[in-house]
A and B are shown apart, each in its own frame.
Chain A
Amino acid sequence: MSETLWAALAEVQDPEMPVNLVDLGVIYDVRRDEKGVVDVDLTFTAMGCPASEFILDDVRERLLREDGVHDVRINVVWNPPWTTARMTQAGRDALEAWGLAV
């Protein structure tokens, strides 16, 4: 069940860079309870992330489009801290193609 939620989150693009949130490695966990409430643990690449509000809006909006999802609770976590090591190879390739060294 959580696989479809991960797939949904892989459709959410970072607002600043051409990479999705899953490949960027900022989604730590996503789970759904029997009442259709989804909990997401996510972090940002920097504490002063200028796109944080947009990311939260996009995550909420995308998950609410999943069948049976009635509510989304987002927990912003800072532990473990994000580093480039959390990116997938696909994310790394996307950013390198775009001209960013990772």
Chain B
Amino acid sequence: MPTAAEFEKTIKSGELIESTNEMTPEYLRELKHTLIVSGDTELISAPAYYLAAKKAPSINAFMTGIAIIQDELAHAHIAYHILEELGEDQEKLIFSRDPKSFRYPYAFDVPLDSWTELVVANGMYDQAGFCLLGDIHDKCSYGPWKRGLNKVMAEENFHLRNGRTWMKRISLAGGAAKDELQRAVDWMFPLSVEWFGLPDNLKMHSTQLEYRLKGLTNDQLRQWWLSTVVPYCEQIGINVPAHKETQDGKDVYVLDYPFPCEFDAAEKRWDFKQPITWDDVLARWRARGPRNAEMVAMFQEEFHKFRKTHRNGN
């Protein structure tokens, strides 16, 4: 194991870390935490998307939805597989953890109830995943993960395309279809903005940045997301509560509502007149949302049932 000074030198030099022998215990802990968030996020997107993909408007659309879910499971597998190599028990992580201890963005706990909401998730949540993973792919100091993300990035592009193509198609259809799309964007846009976490002015120190597990701050990632989603929605005629401004000669996206603010998960409605604190948001995240237990049960229950009935055959 390297000394703290040796390790710091390696990190500063830009070299990649390839094995646990080259890590300090603090780095290992932070790497594992980052991988768990990534694995959990990919994994939970499968039941979240599946419950909505069942409402696909055609066989072809359903196949695309299912292919995306298969990709997400494979992406989850990459993260859990690396965790196993780092000494964690993959099976326990996935099948024996309490639903509330899964570390994925709160957005997935709010039910996606229609094909329209699914494609907005592909356009917005997958874009958030694309920004977060793209940054890790670009900057991560842990070699095995950085390389594992090559294929993930290409596949996330496909998900984005599904989201964008359908959002445009639904918007062009107009009428009730477009109204439904606008309603989905209205509640899903602010949840995606929240996805990137505390603003930089409240989170002074980031161990993930220090260890080069990622390269961009929360606000930089949020700006990246806004710079892709806002222009696209404007282009297809969908309103979003954010706009572009020039500040000190640079383009910056500014939110048109207090951030953070009150969200009613049961009604899928934001109250832009009701600003809240980040402590309130963190409390909502910790309590988890409406679909948390149901989704985790979708992959945990059958596993344990199968274990019981196949005890001798396995």
Contact = CB atoms under 8 A, between A and B. Distances in A.
A51 B158 contact: yes
Contacts of A48: 63
Interface string A85-102: 000000000000011000
A51 B157 CA distance: 12
Nearest to B155: A16
Interface residues of A, number: 14
Contacts of A98: 150-151, 154
Interface string B137-153: 00000000000001100
A50 B151 contact: no
A53 B162 CA distance: 10
Nearest to B59: A48
Contacts of A20: none
A50 B150 contact: no
A51 B160 CA distance: 12
Contacts of A15: 157-158, 161
A50 B66 contact: yes
A18 B157 CA distance: 11
Q: Is the interface of B mostly helix, strand, loop or mixed?
A: helix
A54 B67 contact: no
Interface string B39-73: 00000000000000000000010011011100000
Nearest to B71: A16
A50 B165 contact: no
Contacts of B162: 54
A16 B60 contact: no
Contacts of B151: 98-99
A52 B161 CA distance: 13
Given A53-B60, A54-B165, A17 B154 contact: yes
Interface string A27-54: 0000000000000000000001111111
Contacts of B165: 53-54, 57
A97 to B, nearest CB: 10
Interface in A43-82: 48-54, 57
B154 A54 contact: no
B184 to A, nearest CB: 21
Nearest to A16: B158
Interface string A1-25: 0000000000000011110000000
B161 A50 contact: no
9 closest A-B pairs by CB? A50-B67, A50-B64, A50-B63, A16-B158, A48-B63, A15-B158, A53-B60, A99-B151, A15-B161
Interface of A: 15-18, 48-54, 57, 98-99
7 contacts: A15-B158, A16-B154, A16-B155, A48-B63, A50-B67, A50-B68, A53-B165
